[in-house]
Chain A
Amino acid sequence: MHLTDLRHPRPTRETPRPPSAPSRPARLRHLLTAAPFVLPSLAGVVLFLLVPVVIVLVLSFFRWNFLQSPQWVGFSNFVTMTRDDHVFHALLVTAYYVLWNIPLQTAIALGLAVLLNRRMPALGLFRALYVLPYMSTPVAMAVVWSWMFNGQTGLINHLLLLVGIHGPDWLGNAQTALPAVAMVSNWQYAGYNMLFFLAGMQTIPPALYEAASIDGASAFRRFTRITLPLLSPTMLFVLVTDVIGSFQIFDTVYVMTQGGPGSATNVINYQIYSTGFRNFDVGSASAMSLLLFGVILTITFIQFRFFRNRTTYEVS
């Protein structure tokens, strides 16, 4: 997603416009030429993105189970939502999941990028291997990881036993289930994010590092004073897209824990799914969707503010 473009649209290279505004017949001709190109995707955007947003807003004011006729209930769905412990708990679980996911995943990605950001043989191979999980079906990999986290037959506990530790039943334990699910996402997306950091690092002029070395800056100082500040646009992109994705985690949770044990991994997306499509409470599910939408927009906005207030050094 390219959220930066929404706030700071770059001046785009326009095809030169004719000096005077085109006449009416010309405008009509332009429209007719463009119509077959634009109309299919416009139909898609309107029917499957804009209309649904309107419908979800409308549905949030009704009580409905997909079958009987909908019943207008005013703000009641929103009011019950603020009182409903499930929703609040689901948001907390989601936040907890994001905390297990994002910092570690970003740190690993950054570390991998530092390792691979040099000119040496065979690094392309390693880069590809680190990205491989990103391409794999989340449902299928969740099955494989469920097996590896299994209390009796799983790899993790077999490995722990080698050093004399009896590991827990990771996915059956309320304390360990959520971190375990988050580890799967970290594994799956660390390499993917590494690619963005690598691309960002390659735009940093080597002369900066040379100058710093001459001034006696240590490798750590060069990283914190040159690499990190100059990477902040990349960092913003990675954090915004990852946090948005992380808030919507579903596939892994569905396969590995079904929201359990108890409600230990009942993330908001899972709560919306079970409210809407298991309990057929359409109105509440719509209200929760809007809540999630609001939370994501707010966090995105905060991230933009945070990064805008920090100095970034323009290097051209």
Chain B
Amino acid sequence: MTAVPRNQQAPLRTARYTLFYLCLTAIAVVFVAPYVLAIFGALKPASQVLSSSPWSPPTRLYLGNFRAILSGDDFWRYLGNTAAITVVLTAGQVTFGVLAAYAFARLQFPGRDRLFLVYLATLMVPNVVTLVPLYTMMRQFHLANTYWAIFLPYVLGVPYTIFLMRQYFMSLPSEIFAAARVDGCSEWRILTRILLPMGRPIIITATLIAFVFGWNNFLWPLIVTDTTSKQVLTVSIAALQSSFGEQWNLVLAASLVALIPLLVIFAVFQKHIVRSIQLSGVNR
């Protein structure tokens, strides 16, 4: 490299930095624009959505679309259904998942490793393969079109998060567990006093995975519910879209309501989410 005097190099570097960040910002615009435009659209009256360009911000704060969506009981019911089902699904999946992961990582029992291989093998089964039989089972047990049917298949723990947590629990120093056993701690006490505090990061990860899955779940609730009283938010938004096709102002407002909880969670747990996605991919 030819030596460039310092005073000439500095502006060059500044220019390159500016270009670099401009590039990053342009890409960020592509990723964020749909949200911003949806907010713009949801805050405009129907006539303005059709007449103005999508990127022009609303001239005044118009809340009529949100009022229209939220005024009836129905939308609140869907929101309530989704929230309740997601909470139950998450609580069960994490609780039973932690128990299983602890057993596979830290307990001795006959057939343990073979049983774990069975859990791993089920990761190969695509979701759609189980839908027809699951629906058949739910009908057979008179559970079709109930809240139970929506969360039951996922509430007892799923192999994927059990696998993630087991890997993490196995990486914890075994001396602590051995010492606790020598001191006469019961397995339950070890679980609540040692494992839960030490395994916090991965348990938060499992909680986030379960929550996002429950909140976003669409195909299974679509299949297993057929009355509006049991409908969840995603199914109702899809129905709204097909019946109010061209009333974008309303459909956008409804979609935003569904997105808000996830956006809040993302804002709060952003660093954790990024770290945990990388953890789940690389920790192989």
Interface residues of A (CB under 8 A from B): 1-6, 10, 12-13, 15, 17, 22, 27, 30-31, 33-34, 36-38, 40-45, 47-53, 55-56, 59, 66, 112, 115-116, 120, 122-124, 126-133, 135-141, 143-148, 150, 152-155, 158, 187, 191-192, 195-196, 198-200, 203, 233-234, 237-238, 244, 247-248, 250-251, 254-255, 258, 269, 272-273, 276-277, 282, 285-286, 289-290, 292-293, 296-297, 300
Contact = CB atoms under 8 A, between A and B. Distances in A.
A66 B139 contact: yes
Contact of A158 (B54, B139, B156, B219): B54
Contact of A132 (B32, B120, B241, B258): B32
Interface string B190-225: 000000000000000000000010011011001100
A187 B31 contact: yes
Contacts of A49: 122, 125, 130, 159
B120 A6 contact: yes
Interface of B: 17, 20-21, 23-25, 27-28, 30-35, 37-38, 41, 49-50, 53-55, 96-97, 99-100, 102-104, 106-110, 112, 115, 118-137, 139, 152-160, 162-163, 170-171, 174, 177, 187, 212, 215-216, 218-219, 222-223, 234, 237-238, 241-242, 248, 251-252, 254-256, 258-259, 262-263, 265-266, 270-271, 273-274, 277-278, 281-282, 284
Closest 10 CB pairs of A and B: A44-B156, A55-B133, A41-B157, A37-B103, A52-B133, A41-B100, A34-B109, A140-B255, A199-B278, A52-B130
Contact of B282 (A37, A51, A135, A196): A196
A292 B129 contact: yes
Given A40-B99, A139-B218, A139-B234, A158 B53 contact: yes
Describe B's contact surface by its main secondary structure: helix
Contacts of B216: 137-139
Describe A's contact surface by its main secondary structure: helix
Contact of B97 (A41, A129, A158, A200): A41
Nearest to B49: A153
Given A6-B120, A147-B252, A38 B132 contact: no
Given A34-B107, A38-B99, A131-B277, A137 B31 contact: no
12 contacts: A37-B103, A41-B156, A42-B100, A128-B274, A131-B274, A135-B212, A135-B265, A137-B234, A147-B252, A273-B219, A277-B135, A290-B129
Contacts of B256: 140
Residue of B50, B128, B219, B271 most packed against chain A (CB within 10 A): B128
A10 B167 CA distance: 11
B129 A289 contact: yes
A233 B281 CA distance: 10
Nearest to B219: A250
A191 B4 CA distance: 38
B123 A31 contact: no
Nearest to B251: A143
Contacts of A144: 34-35, 37-38, 252, 255
A33 B109 contact: yes
A137 B103 contact: no
Contacts of A51: 133, 137
Given A15-B108, A56-B129, A56-B133, A45 B119 contact: yes
Given A112-B27, A143-B237, A13 B170 contact: yes
Given A37-B99, A129-B28, A133-B31, A255 B241 contact: yes
Contact of B128 (A45, A133, A269): A269
A140 B124 contact: no
A155 B118 contact: no
